[in-house]
Amino acid sequence: MATGFTINSSTSNDINPSEYNDSHRLFLQSMLSHRILTEGEAQNLYFKICDLINCEHVEFNEFISVINHEISEISLSLRITRDETNGSSFIGLVNTKEDELAQIATKYTPNEITYFRQMIETIVMADDDKYAIGSMVAIRLGQTMKPPLTQKETQTLIDRLNDDQWICPTPDGSSYCIDTRGIMELQGYLNEQYGDVIKHCKMCHDIVTMGERCELQNCEVRFHRHCADGQFSGRTIVCPECETGWSRTNIFGLGLPL
């Protein structure tokens, strides 16, 4: 499977939009650079590419399916997910290998990847579904690496992870949580490593690290906030599992804006 392309003078009648062609190659190469875009940005990119090479438009989901069929053999996939804080849709190019953290090896040293693993573990295992690591705890974590990272090196690494959209600061700036890209690209890793503790949204079944939870302490039901909006719209507000009264203010995850 080649990702290179050559733009020619073909008309839209010469290109079958349902088969892998230059429009798919151009889009994939752009995603290799961007890694993640809002769904609106991705669709605009697709329309511009079609105009550029004079290719007929098809349904965007169909267009993405053609690319995914082509790149599955090299353990890549385009995934659509939603931001846990506001429900906006994103599309990202992800590695589907068993150890998805291996994909960042080209940008981070083995010691830095070890740090990121420990950071993710601390976030996932945080008490009371906080799904965050305090800023100072994150700095001190660097000292446990072998060789240890200085405070300055650790902060620089945290800033890089933030810039690359693996993590993001909580609204009050006191902690870090997993960003949309991190949730999307590491879902296989998170499910495999922390399947006994990681939570999934009752509606969309994706991993959820911030949202609404059941009032009953032992009930495992969780919703993304945007999924809860759909779940409880025009319905009796009770837990779909245990039928306990549901409070829209019983939220979890420090990354969720109040």
pLDDT one-digit tens code per residue, 35-55: 899 999 999 999 999 999 988
What confidence score (pLDDT) does residue 233 get? 84
**pLDDT value for 80:** 92
Convert 197-233 to b/e letters by CB count within 10 Å (16 or more is b): ebbbbbbeeebbbbbbbbeeeeeebbbbbbbbeebbe
pLDDT in tens, 175-213: 999 999 999 989 888 999 999 999 999 999 999 999 999
Residue 104 has pLDDT above 70, yes or no: no
* pTM of the entire predicted model: 0.85
- pLDDT bucket at 105, cuts 50 / 70 / 90: low
The pLDDT of residue 86 is above 90: yes
Residues in the chain: 258
What is the structure's pLDDT at 15? 59
Which residue ranges form the domains of the chain, and what is each CATH number?
12-74 (no CATH), 101-188 (1.10.10.10)
